[in-house]
Amino acid sequence: MKTHEFTLVLKVNPSDAKAEKFYGICQDGTLSVRCGVGHVLFHRPAKSLETALLSALADVRAAGLSVARVEMAPEAVLVRT
């Protein structure tokens, strides 16, 4: 199983209560605020990038947080031609 690294950029900064709820649900994500914007950095083991992203999105939403976008390094996305 591969570990996938990506960041979920949040729509709103998490309150302390939502941050605590998030950490109760998820142990492989790190919450931070950069330039006034909430981010969650993930190192998620999964069979595929899609599976990793979908499970991370579910965990973030279960904590009551909303995602604006996903960011990742270009080399993290393998495009087969």
Share of residues in the chain with pLDDT > 90 (%): 84
Give residue 51's identity as a one-letter amino acid code: T
CATH number of this structure's domain 2-73, picked from the four choices 3.40.50, 3.40.1000, 1.25.40, 3.30.70: 3.30.70
Write the pLDDT tens digit of every residue in 9-43.
Answer: 999 999 999 999 999 999 999 999 998 899 999 99
Could you give the strand order of the β-sheet that contains 67-71, starting from the edge strand earlier in sequence? 29-34, 37-46, 2-10, 67-71
Give residue 16's identity as a one-letter amino acid code: D
Among the residue ranges 11-15, 56-60, 66-70, the one predicted with the least confidence is: 11-15
C-alpha distances (whole Å) from 55 to each of 28, 35, 81 are 11, 26, 27
Q: Is 6 left (phi over 0), alpha (psi -120 to 50) or beta?
A: beta
Domain boundaries, the chain: 2-73
Q: Is 78 helix (H, G, I), strand (E, B) or coil?
A: coil
- How confident is the model over 40-66, as a mean pLDDT? 96
pTM score over 0.85 = yes
